[in-house]
Structure 1
Amino acid sequence: MSVSRRSLLAAAGVSFTGALGALFAAGPRVAAGPRVAAGPRVAAGPRVAAARRGGGYGPLLPDPYGLLDLPAGFAYRVLSRAGEPLRSGEGPVPGNCDGMAAFAGSSGAVRLVRNHENGPAAALRVPPVPGLVYDPAARGGCTVLDLAPDGRVTAERVALAGTAVNCAGGPTPWDTWLSCEETEDRAGTSGYAEDHGWVFEVDPADPLRSGAVPLTAMGRFAHEAVAVDPATGIVYETEDAFVEPFGLFYRFLPARPLGGPGSLRAGGTLQALRVRGVPDLSAVDEPGTELPAEWVPVPDPAAAGTPIRFQDFGPGGITHAQKLEGCYWGGGGVHFVSSFARSAEGSAADHHGQVWFHDPRRAVIRLEVLFGPAAGAVLPGDSPDNICLAPGGGLMVCEDGGGAQYVFGVTRGGEVYPVARNADDIGGPGAPEWGEFAGVTFSPDGRTMFVNAYTPGTTFAVTGPWH
């Protein structure tokens, strides 16, 4: 059963906002183009309004090379492809390209750090470079690409190895990358010599300086993504749990906030989000709904005996959500995504994606965007995953569902438009299939969008008339 406006007001003293608020940074509206399918419901004005129809940058044009369809005026460059040699000579480029972030180098250069979500059966492991390996039996990790000011790849090397199922993560204010393991496998499982489910800090400029040290105080669970408050140093974390009990939304209070590279090793306090009267966020179905946020200490962050989401959080319980994935800081708060909820799998209600915003100053969370089924959304098709804020305002969403795979934009007014479509058919005869997108991010100057096609692992740089 969904949570109505009236029941929420009665249960938790809830208020409703009238604007998209911090989700969409100020910027010009995207020009209208050919009509596309109706978008999601969003918080827009004193009432919830249906999303406008529009075309963003216009229709996507078929790529004659069969890799990436883009609007007119846009172009892509393939930066890296799984199986090709790393420029460092350390081995082949690993597969399963996932979360990613871009950091400013010197004189307009860019460093692009990229996760590889490799499990025990991955064919193209991250090469085990000495000094960068946590567990020799694990096949995941990170690689770094150095890009010249003109976009050429000048270097490509391993930055972290011997980790497992490195899904997403997030950048820090001191220009390092937090790589997250999306697994809870213990030592002795799948041949692993170490426990997994940790966050690792990666220094893109000097990976050997960061090494392969698990940040155990940040919790052991199926991590997805993180976002760091640049004013306080608090780290927010999502947990991608497929089955009940579903994942939690966490915050980590560092003992040395904003202490720079390596400071998170000093430990801190891990807490989980509680919304009283709302044990499952899928029950909230009205964009603009605000709920008071409480933070409860996690009894055993290392999950030595019991996975965190099973632990006893005392009277009042804890708040869960299915498929918590993308997490991104912007506009004075943190955005986080629930990719979908299915009542047949145990969720309180069904939806095809939620985008939430946590305002730490007001201690509330707010449902900003709801993707179907009540919204009637066709775009994004299903399962929003990695997200980022576009430099000119609005949201970029990687789709991770069935059928054709897109990167979509959502404007400040709730307009949904296609940005890119994966044209690389990896299916068999009569059964087309396209890999999901992941790791969408922008260069520090906002002129280039970087994104991964997860399968086959391909990293693209997209340029064009970004608004």
Structure 2
Amino acid sequence: MSMNRREVLAVTGLGLVGGGLGGAFLPSAASAATGRVPVDGYGPLKPAGKELALPAGFSYRTFGAAGTRMSDGLPTPRCHDGQAVFPAGRDRFRLIRNHEIDSDIPNISLKSLGRINAYDRAAPAGCTSSLYDLSAGRLLESFLVLNGTLSNCSGAATPWGSWLSCEETTEGVGAGFEKPHGYVFEIPSTARGPVEPVPLKAMGRFEHETAPIDPRTGIVYMTEDNGDPGDGFYRFIPRKPGHLAAGGRLQMLAVTGDKEYDTAIGQRVGEVLDAHWVDIDEPDPSDAEDNPGSVYSQGRAKGGCRFLGLEGSAWSDGGVTFVASEAGDAENGQVWRYVPTGHAAGKLQLLFESPNPKTLNQPDTVAVSPGGTILLAEDGDGEDEAGGDNWLRVLTPAGTIANLAKVIAPLDLHYWNPEDFPEPGPTGASELAGAAFTPDGRHLFINVQYPGVTCVITGPFSGR
């Protein structure tokens, strides 16, 4: 370990490089969460509906349940995942939502939805658009906007008003599909039907998760969730900012001074690492289907650092906050932050590492409110064979964890994992996905992924 390349911040709280996130928390959330077990920072949680338990003062409505008829006559797809919220008039918001459907999930294909502008007629996933009226508390319209993609997990909103939808698979013709997968697709928030799907191949063919953008430079930061042999943290420098289809350069993050750096174990919370970027020579490698880690291996060979289970990320306050869901000495997850300090360099800092599953169990979705609140949605033991709970939690300025919501809707593991449970099996709690705030920070759109419904949570997120 090159100790001369690092420093441990001797400051109060998270000591975030490049400025602070936080300050928009209840005082009790930071002061009471002194132990390792999370506290109910906003107060005790109670069922607020059949899907979620929330603190007093919070409430929610639902819309867009899987199977309900959309405005275009098609059934709402299942497996609600990443999404973005776009203002669309007084108290109205346009929601572009991913549906993470793959070839292994039974009975929920989009294949019957028609083939208008389908990227791949054999692929079952895509995106929908919904217009929701907050004041009326109802859905006004919904329809399909991306068709024929695969395992659309998460993505990000762009500063110019579109949604980047990311495929979390590199399957292709070898798996029976018409075309290769593992790409990013762009959907304008103004789309009125299925867009012409264009895979942004220069942004890489790998198991994509998220793709937030620095609004100042137009650089896209991307996470990868492949697992074995490891995952990279990437950036895409567009040739023409705001026009991703025009191409650009793909790079992977490296820790300066250590060409074999592994972030998965042996890290110290608060430590700041000098970082730089290495080029990916072949962002669309021909062997990606058989070797999903092909892009990662290129970067690793040049000194790129290894992460494990990179999932959600969000751009805020001049940097990217992202999670490594399976990393850490206890394998329960880490929260990282990267802040660019120049065109070719930056600082990488570990904000939090979970010591046990009761504190934080494999964080997945990341959202940052307009006031700086960091939300972490779990994808942990709620979907394991033994069942369990999945929570929506807050990373406080004190570097501890506080509860905000709990999933109570049962997940039928027999239905979703028929090969593992040939007979009726146990139930667990579905994960939450796609957390996205309205610009005023008063409303949070979030999905209960299985079978699929969108919730709009309203409450004093910034305190009382």
TM over 0.5: yes
Q: TM-score, normalized by length of structure 2?
A: 0.86
Q: How does 1:17-96 map to 2 (within 5 A)?
A: 17=9, 18=11, 19-21=15-17, 24-32=20-28, 38-39=35-36, 54-63=39-48, 65-89=49-73, 91-96=74-79
- The equivalent residue for 2:232 is 248
Q: 2:353 aligns with which of 350, 360, 371?
A: 371
Answer yes or no: is the 8 Å Cα contact 1:31–1:55 preserved in 2.
no
> Residues 386 and 310 of structure 1: is their aligned pair in 2 closer, same or farther, counting only changes over 3 Å?
closer
Deviation at 1:186, TM superposition (A): 2.1
> Residues 56 and 104 of structure 1: is their aligned pair in 2 closer, same or farther, counting only changes over 3 Å?
same
> Residues 103 and 251 of structure 1: is their aligned pair in 2 closer, same or farther, counting only changes over 3 Å?
same
State the Cα deviation string for residues 47-98 of structure 1 (Å, max 9, x = none): xxxxxx75321111034x4321111111110112111212321x21111111
State the alpha-carbon separation in 1 of the partners of residues 215 and 430 from structure 2. Answer: 33
State the alpha-carbon separation in 2 of the partners of residues 31 and 87 from structure 1. Answer: 44
Q: 2:191 aligns with which of 206, 213, 220?
A: 206
Deviation at 1:292, TM superposition (A): 1.6
Answer yes or no: is the 8 Å Cα contact 1:104–1:111 preserved in 2.
yes
Alignment root-mean-square deviation, CA: 2.4
Answer yes or no: is the 8 Å Cα contact 1:290–1:364 preserved in 2.
no
- The equivalent residue for 1:274 is 254
- The equivalent residue for 1:4 is none
2:282 matched to 1:297? no
Gaps of at least 5 residues in structure 2 are 382-387, 415-423
Deviation at 1:196, TM superposition (A): 0.2
2:155 matched to 1:169? yes
Q: 1:146 aligns with which of 103, 106, 131?
A: 131
Q: 2:87 aligns with which of 86, 101, 104?
A: 104
State the alpha-carbon separation in 1 of the partners of residues 72 and 303 from structure 2. Answer: 50
Q: How does 1:105-124 map to 2 (within 5 A)?
A: 105-122=88-105, 123-124=107-108
Deviation at 1:404, TM superposition (A): 0.5
Write the letter of the residue equivalent to 2:368: L
Deviation at 1:311, TM superposition (A): 3.8
- The equivalent residue for 2:245 is 265
State the alpha-carbon separation in 2 of the partners of residues 149 and 171 from structure 1. Answer: 20
- The equivalent residue for 1:385 is 364
3-state SS in 1 of match to 2:430: coil
Write the letter of the residue equivalent to 2:354: G
- The equivalent residue for 1:158 is 144
Answer yes or no: is the 8 Å Cα contact 2:314–2:367 preserved in 1.
yes
Provide the identity percentage. Answer: 36
- The equivalent residue for 1:334 is 320
Answer yes or no: is the 8 Å Cα contact 1:55–1:416 preserved in 2.
no
2:210 matched to 1:225? yes
3-state SS in 1 of match to 2:264: helix
Deviation at 1:39, TM superposition (A): 4.3
Q: How does 1:390-429 map to 2 (within 5 A)?
A: 390-402=369-381, 403-427=388-412
State the alpha-carbon separation in 2 of the partners of residues 185 and 248 from structure 1. Answer: 19
Write the letter of the residue equivalent to 1:251: R
Answer yes or no: is the 8 Å Cα contact 2:32–2:41 preserved in 1.
no
> Residues 208 and 23 of structure 1: is their aligned pair in 2 closer, same or farther, counting only changes over 3 Å?
farther
Answer yes or no: is the 8 Å Cα contact 1:37–1:379 preserved in 2.
no
Deviation at 1:104, TM superposition (A): 0.8
Answer yes or no: is the 8 Å Cα contact 2:334–2:354 preserved in 1.
no
Farther off after superposition, 305-314 or 322-331: 305-314
Farther off after superposition, 298-307 or 275-284: 275-284
State the alpha-carbon separation in 2 of the partners of residues 38 and 160 from structure 1. Answer: 45
State the alpha-carbon separation in 2 of the partners of residues 30 and 54 from structure 1. Answer: 12
How many equivalent pairs are there?
Answer: 430
> Residues 257 and 197 of structure 1: is their aligned pair in 2 closer, same or farther, counting only changes over 3 Å?
same
